[in-house]
Structures are given as structure tokens and as C-alpha cells.
């Protein structure tokens, strides 16, 4: 088990290295420069700026220097916010993104799993049809649509939550729901499918034959098998939630990492862009590892090798 | 009074407009300590009969148009789910055809065994664990205190079937239903499991309904036999009568398809020609007539009456007295 985790961690580091290298290349090879917007800058000033960020050196030198800094935990200076380091910006914005992302994930798992399980247990009843229709709607409404809708209803028509910004727990609710709903819907459908398959299986018949109550059959014998497809889905789901959070943060004007990511891309803010990419990548890789470990804990037939 | 008395049991399934008559008129009785065999080809309704006794048929699509199942003075057909679950695993237990998929892969053997005692006998986990280990040893699982902590996938097929048998016996049920308990196992393991079941019947006086499509297996196990064909009971007799003087041509055909060690000439082994009918599209008259070498116009026209040949001896065939 520990060996498995260690092995996977080595894999994470290697993948991360490849990601950093590729994004460095892509970002630097695409035309444009961080300073191209400032038209009337004298040549001397431009040269001085380039020297400040090390852009006067050959690309491979810059690359090795950057890698060296990243290993030390230094993500460099932002170009647009010229007196702030990338570390500083991420330190302030990452927790906000994480709050929204995790809340969205938890909401998606809770609602999706409970809804899906109820639909499966009450297959072909009003409950099943109702829940699955809601799920169908959920899947077809992406955050780009659900965000403004939620603002219209729960911030403007009914003034329960603020429309945008950051500050109290109330600011987190609408963005998380908007972000999580699609995944709640997916998870509900997956859970229903998984549970139905389990409920038809021989070992559930055995559980009934033992005299267990219907509730015990579901809770003790069916849930574990039914949750497996959901766990498998969590890896990709986390990835898309992260991407989705960029959109949601823009809509709700949340000072998370999303807006920085978009702006950095437009402004050619090389180091900030790289920093955000690295943080996203680390998260994704670690969460995927976590999912694999969870899978092994749920299913005893899986051996960690 | 007999332990179990099944009368006119019918179990149908509603499938896309037509009705599949999986069990269509089964009657038999079982005394305490007796072993009754149910035989018939695949699809003849053996498993559905047993699942009906346990009331484990999914409803819908399944339903019971007629029938009563009297068990220790109660009609199981009249019980609700809650009353039924007090009987399941406690007074009537069942062992299934496929031991590989019948245990929950996500729970340890211990959890799966002890929960039976916890629900039916209010035992604590500790007491239940002790009983479970004893019974695992009894069914021939070596190293039971260690093995009980393992998951099903760590057991071989034969061992899993032993675990299933142990699970079924935890509450010392009056009745054990064994649905082809050895079909999925290889021959030497089969013999061991059959031996084990005979021992348990002798030592605990557990009555057994033993299902198989292998006539060779029932010969050494059972006191009486029910023969099923396409959902209907076609013959019923004591094991010795059935083997010595089979009355129904289908029974006869089943018997001559057993490989026998005492006859050298393997050429005499004749599989039954043709296939069992589609239950939603049964032939007219006797369902067996298309495959029966004695069939005539009468057999095609009407389903034969049941002929009571003696007490506990019945055959449903126009040609019984021929
Ligand atoms: N849940 C169900 N829904 C619809 N039809 C069913 C269902 N269960 C069983 N049947 C039908 O009932 C018929 C009898 O099946 P059953 O399982 O009792 O046969 P069997 O005698 O046990 O055969 P085998 O030797 O293969 O186990 C089959 O034709 C099957 O299609
Ligand atoms: Mg069967």
C-alpha cells in the first residue's frame, strides 16, 4: 500500500515535469509578448523590463532557471501586477477557488448519490421518473446558463444571496450550486445505473434470502457496489469542475484563481499563467491518486501493486 | 402434519404483453427430515419454484395467480414482506446455484455470516462470531478463525459453496433449499459437498429440497423426486420407484441420459432429442409431445390428467398405463 502510493507519487512528479515543460514551450512559442500592449514605451525601458524578468537570456537558459525556481517553490513575478509575486497571488486566490470547488463537489456527490440511489430503489415509480427528469435538466444546463439563472432567481428576485463578490459564506453558495449541478446530475444517473445492476445481482438475492430487511439490503449490501462507478467518475469530474470554476468565478466575479488564469492568458503574463497551470495540475494529479486509493479501499478485490 | 405442503403453485411473469408461465401447477409435500429432489432440464422452472417458496420472485414482473405454501402451519403466500423476512434465513434457508457470485464481494465472510445471527437471534457480534467459526469448521473450512476475516474472492469455488452452506445453517433452519449447489463445481468437490449435505441432514434433521438437472446426483441423495417439464410437474414418486419403474416418457428419457458406470456400452446413453419449448409459446396438448416417441393425436389435443398411481405417486401422461 505505502509502496503503491510512493510509486504513484513518483509518477505524479514526472507527469508534473512534463506538463510544466510542455506549457512552458507552448506559452513561449506562441507569438506576442507581455509588453506589446504598451505601445509608446521607449526602447531602453523595454530592454530594462526584459532584463528584469530574464527575457533577454536564451530560451533554454530561462527554462532551466524557471525549473530551478519551481523546485525551490518560487513561481516568479507577475508581469501585469508588477509588484506581486505569483506565489502571493495564488496564496490569496487559491483558497477561494478551493472553497467553491470542494463545496460544488460535495454537493454534487451528496445530491447525486442520494438521488440516484432513491431512483434505483424505487425504479419505475414517480420517484424514479421525477428524479431522473431533474437529472436530465441538470445535465443540459451548464454553469454558463445556470449561473445567471441562479443570480436572477436567488439574488435578484429573492434577495437571499449576494449577486457577486466575496466575503461571507453566502457568497459561496450560488457559485457552488451552479458549478456542481451538472455533476450532481451525472452522478445521480451513474448511481442509479450502478445500483440497479447491483440490486439485480446474485449477492443481493442472497442478502434477501438471509432475511435482511429491505433497508439493510440496500444500505449494507448494495451501496458499496453501487458507489463504485461514481468513484471512477470522480477523477474526470474533479478535472472538469476545475475548468468549470474558471467560468463560474467570472460569472460571480469571485476573486479566485479563475479570473487570474483568463487574464494572465490574455496579457501574456507568463509566470502567473504557468503558476496557475502548475497549481491546477498538482491538484488534479493528487485527487486522481486519492480516487484510486479510495477505490481500493471500497473494493477488496483490488490489490495495490 | 408435514413440514411443507405446496398446493397448486403457479408463478407467472408478465413480459411485454405475454405471460410466461414459469411454474404452472406444482404440488408436493415434505416431511421433517426428508430430502425431496426436483429434477428437470434447464428452464423447466426448478429455480422459480424454490424462489417462490422463499417469496424471492421479483414482483413485478412475477406474480402468483394461484397456490398456497403451508410451512409449519402458516401459509407463506399470505405473509407480508416483514413476516416473510423473519422466516428467511431463519427457518428456511437457501443455497444458490452459483457460489462465485452469491456472496457479497465487498464484505468479509464474517460480516456476512454474523449478520444472520444478529438479525434472527439478537446475538452480539462476539457470540455470533463464535457460532460462525464453529459452523465453518463443521462444513470443513480449515483455519476458520483466520479465514472468517477474509473476503469471498480469497476462497475457491468449493470453499465459497461451503461458506454458503454454513451461512444457510447458522440458525439451524427446518428447511434447506439447495438450488443446484454443485453444478458450478468440479466433480471431486461436488462429491464432497453432497456428502456434507447428507451429513447435515442426518445430524441436524434438516429437511432438504434438492434441485438438480442431473439424475445421477439425486439417486443417492433423495427420498422422493418431483420431475418438472416446461413449468409443469409431470411425475412424482419415491426415488426407488422412480428409478425402477419410471412412468412418464420424459422421466424415462432423463434416466437414459445418465452415464452409467456399470454398463460398458456407452452407446446406450441417449440424450433427449429436441429442445424444451418456449414458455411463452407452448405446444398444444402435452408440452412434451413434440419430443415424445409415444405421442399420438390425443397427446397433441389435450393436456393429460394427473393420474394418481398410488399414495405419493403421480404421473401426468396419456400413456401411463400403456
Ligand atoms: N425474473 C424473471 N423474469 C422473467 N422470466 C423469468 C424470471 N425468472 C425466471 N424466468 C423464466 O422462468 C423459466 C424457468 O426458469 P428457472 O430458472 O426456474 O429454470 P431452471 O429449471 O432453474 O433451469 P436451470 O437448470 O437452468 O437453472 C425460464 O424460462 C425463465 O426465462
Ligand atoms: Mg435454476
Whether A142 is in a domain gets the answer yes
What pLDDT score was predicted for residue B288? Answer: 86
Q: How does pLDDT run across A94-125, given as a tens digit for each residue?
A: 888 888 888 999 999 999 999 999 999 888 88
Mean pLDDT of chain A: 86
What residues make up the domain containing A113? 94-256
Whether A62 is in a domain gets the answer no
CA atoms within 13 A on the CB side of B261: 1
* Cell output for B265: 456400452
**A125 and chain B: CB distance < 8 Å anywhere?**
no
Range of lowest pLDDT (B98-102, B170-174, B188-192) = B188-192
What pLDDT score was predicted for residue A39? Answer: 64
pLDDT of B175 higher than 90: yes
What pLDDT score was predicted for residue A294? Answer: 85
| Closest CA–CA distance from residue A295 to any residue of chain B (Å) | 11
Whether A283 is in a domain gets the answer no
Q: Which residues of B touch A224 (CB under 8 A)?
A: 106-107
How far does the centroid of ligand 2 lie from the alpha carbon of residue A203, in Å? 15
Quote the number of domains for chain A: 1
3-state secondary structure A212-278: CCHHHHHHHHHHHHHHHHHHHHHHHHHHHHHHHHHHHHHHCCCCCHHHHHHHHHHHCCHHHHHHHHH
**B172 and chain A: CB distance < 8 Å anywhere?**
no
DSSP A144-192: HHHHHHHHIIIIIISTTS-SS--SSTHHHHHHHHHHHHHHHHHHHHHHH
| A residues 196-225 closer than 8 Å to B (CB) | 201-203, 205-214, 216, 220-221, 224-225
Task: Give me the residue from A206, A220, A224 closest to B96, CB to CB.
Answer: A206
What pLDDT score was predicted for residue A297? Answer: 84
The number of the ligand nearest the C-alpha atom of B48 reads 1
pLDDT of B268 higher than 80: no
Range of lowest pLDDT (A11-15, A36-40, A253-257, B316-320) = A36-40
How far does the centroid of ligand 2 lie from the alpha carbon of residue B179, in Å? 6
In this prediction, the answer to ipTM > 0.85 reads yes
**A298 and chain B: CB distance < 8 Å anywhere?**
yes
User: With bands split at pLDDT 50, 70 and 90, how would you rate the model's confidence at A38?
Assistant: low
Calculate mean pLDDT across residues B109-128. Answer: 92
Q: How far is CA B217 from CA A182, B91, B225, B260, in A?
A: 56, 25, 12, 12
- pLDDT greater at residue A254 or residue B92: B92
* Rounded Cα distance, B93 and A40, in Å: 89
Whether A148 is in a domain gets the answer yes
What pLDDT score was predicted for residue A283? Answer: 84
CA atoms within 13 A on the CB side of B162: 26
Whether A30 is in a domain gets the answer no
Q: Which residues of B touch A207 (CB under 8 A)?
A: 104
Whether A18 is in a domain gets the answer no
How far does the centroid of ligand 2 lie from the alpha carbon of residue B27, in Å? 18
Calculate mean pLDDT across residues B124-130. Answer: 91
Q: How does pLDDT run across B22-81, given as a tens digit for each residue?
A: 999 899 999 999 999 999 988 899 999 999 999 999 888 889 999 899 999 899 999 988
Whether A192 is in a domain gets the answer yes
User: With bands split at pLDDT 50, 70 and 90, how would you rate the model's confidence at A207?
Assistant: very high
What pLDDT score was predicted for residue A228? Answer: 86
Whether A55 is in a domain gets the answer no
Q: What angle do CA B316, B321, B322 make, to 5 degrees?
A: 115
Q: Of all protein residues, whose CA lies closest to atom 11 belonging to ligand 1?
A: B22
* Rounded Cα distance, A99 and A121, in Å: 33
- CATH number of the domain within which A191 lies: 1.10.3720.10
Amino acid at each position: 500500500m505505502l509502496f503503491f502510493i510512493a510509486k504513484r507519487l513518483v509518477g505524479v512528479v514526472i507527469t508534473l515535469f512534463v506538463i510544466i515543460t510542455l506549457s512552458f514551450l507552448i506559452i513561449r512559442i506562441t507569438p506576442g509578448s507581455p509588453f506589446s500592449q504598451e505601445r509608446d514605451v521607449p526602447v531602453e525601458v523595454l530592454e530594462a523590463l526584459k532584463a528584469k524578468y530574464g527575457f533577454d537570456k536564451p530560451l533554454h537558459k530561462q527554462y532551466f532557471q524557471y525549473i530551478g525556481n519551481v523546485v525551490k517553490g518560487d513561481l516568479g513575478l507577475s508581469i501585469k501586477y508588477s509588484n506581486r509575486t505569483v506565489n502571493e497571488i495564488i496564496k490569496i486566490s487559491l483558497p477561494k477557488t478551493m472553497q467553491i470547488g470542494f463545496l460544488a463537489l460535495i454537493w454534487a456527490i451528496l445530491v447525486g448519490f442520494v438521488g440516484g440511489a432513491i431512483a434505483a430503489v424505487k425504479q419505475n415509480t414517480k420517484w424514479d421518473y421525477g428524479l431522473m427528469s431533474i437529472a436530465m435538466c441538470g445535465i443540459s444546463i451548464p454553469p454558463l446558463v445556470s449561473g445567471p439563472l441562479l443570480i436572477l432567481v436567488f439574488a435578484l428576485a429573492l434577495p437571499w444571496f449576494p449577486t457577486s463578490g466575496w466575503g461571507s459564506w453566502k457568497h459561496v453558495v450560488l457559485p457552488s450550486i451552479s458549478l456542481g449541478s451538472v455533476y450532481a446530475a451525472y452522478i445521480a444517473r451513474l448511481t442509479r445505473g450502478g445500483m440497479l445492476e447491483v440490486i439485480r445481482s446474485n449477492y443481493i438475492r442472497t442478502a434477501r434470502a438471509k432475511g435482511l430487511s429491505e433497508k439493510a439490503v440496500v444500505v449494507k449490501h448494495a451501496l458499496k457496489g453501487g458507489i463504485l462507478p461514481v468513484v471512477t467518475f470522480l477523477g474526470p469530474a474533479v478535472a472538469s469542475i476545475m475548468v468549470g470554476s474558471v467560468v463560474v468565478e467570472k460569472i460571480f466575479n469571485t476573486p479566485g484563481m479563475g479570473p487570474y488564469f483568463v487574464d494572465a492568458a490574455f496579457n501574456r503574463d507568463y509566470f502567473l499563467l504557468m503558476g496557475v497551470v502548475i497549481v491546477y495540475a498538482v491538484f488534479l494529479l493528487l485527487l486522481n491518486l486519492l480516487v484510486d486509493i479510495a477505490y481500493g479501499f471500497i473494493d477488496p478485490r483490488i490489490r495495490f501493486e | 402434519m408435514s413440514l411443507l405442503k405446496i398446493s397448486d403453485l403457479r408463478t407467472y411473469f408478465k413480459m411485454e404483453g405475454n405471460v410466461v408461465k414459469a411454474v404452472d401447477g406444482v404440488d408436493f409435500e415434505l416431511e421433517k427430515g426428508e430430502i425431496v429432489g426436483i429434477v428437470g432440464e434447464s428452464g423447466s422452472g426448478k429455480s422459480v419454484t424454490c424462489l417462490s417458496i422463499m417469496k424471492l420472485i421479483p414482483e413485478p414482473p412475477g406474480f402468483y395467480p394461484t397456490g398456497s405454501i403451508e410451512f409449519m402451519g402458516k401459509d407463506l403466500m399470505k405473509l407480508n414482506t416483514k413476516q416473510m423476512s423473519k422466516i428467511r434465513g431463519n427457518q428456511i434457508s437457501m443455497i444458490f446455484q452459483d457460489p462465485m457470485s452469491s456472496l457479497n464481494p465487498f464484505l468479509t465472510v464474517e460480516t456476512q455470516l454474523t449478520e444472520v445471527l444478529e438479525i434472527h437471534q439478537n446475538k452480539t457480534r462476539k457470540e455470533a462470531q463464535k457460532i460462525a467459526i464453529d459452523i465453518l469448521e463443521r462444513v470443513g473450512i480449515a483455519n476458520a478463525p483466520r479465514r472468517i476475516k477474509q473476503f469471498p474472492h480469497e476462497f475457491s469455488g468449493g470453499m465459497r459453496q461451503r461458506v454458503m452452506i454454513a451461512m444457510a445453517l447458522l440458525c439451524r433452519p427446518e428447511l434447506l433449499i439447495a438450488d443446484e449447489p454443485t453444478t458450478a463445481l468440479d466433480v471431486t468437490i461436488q462429491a464432497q459437498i453432497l456428502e456434507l449435505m447428507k451429513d447435515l441432514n442426518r445430524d441436524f434433521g434438516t429437511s432438504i429440497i434438492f434441485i438438480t438437472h442431473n439424475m445421477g446426483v439425486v439417486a443417492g441423495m433423495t427420498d422422493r423426486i418431483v420431475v418438472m417439464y416446461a413449468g409443469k410437474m409431470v411425475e412424482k414418486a419415491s426415488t426407488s420407484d422412480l428409478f425402477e419403474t419410471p412412468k412418464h416418457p420424459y422421466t424415462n428419457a432423463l434416466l437414459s441420459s445418465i452415464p452409467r458406470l456399470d454398463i460398458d456400452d456407452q452407446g446406450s446413453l441417449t440424450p433427449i432429442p429436441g429442445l424444451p419449448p418456449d414458455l411463452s409459446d407452448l405446444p398444444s396438448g402435452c408440452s412434451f409431445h413434440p419430443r415424445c416417441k409415444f405421442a399420438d393425436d390425443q397427446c397433441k389435443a389435450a393436456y393429460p390428467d394427473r393420474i394418481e398411481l398410488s399414495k405419493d405417486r403421480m404421473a401426468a401422461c396419456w400413456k401411463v398405463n400403456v
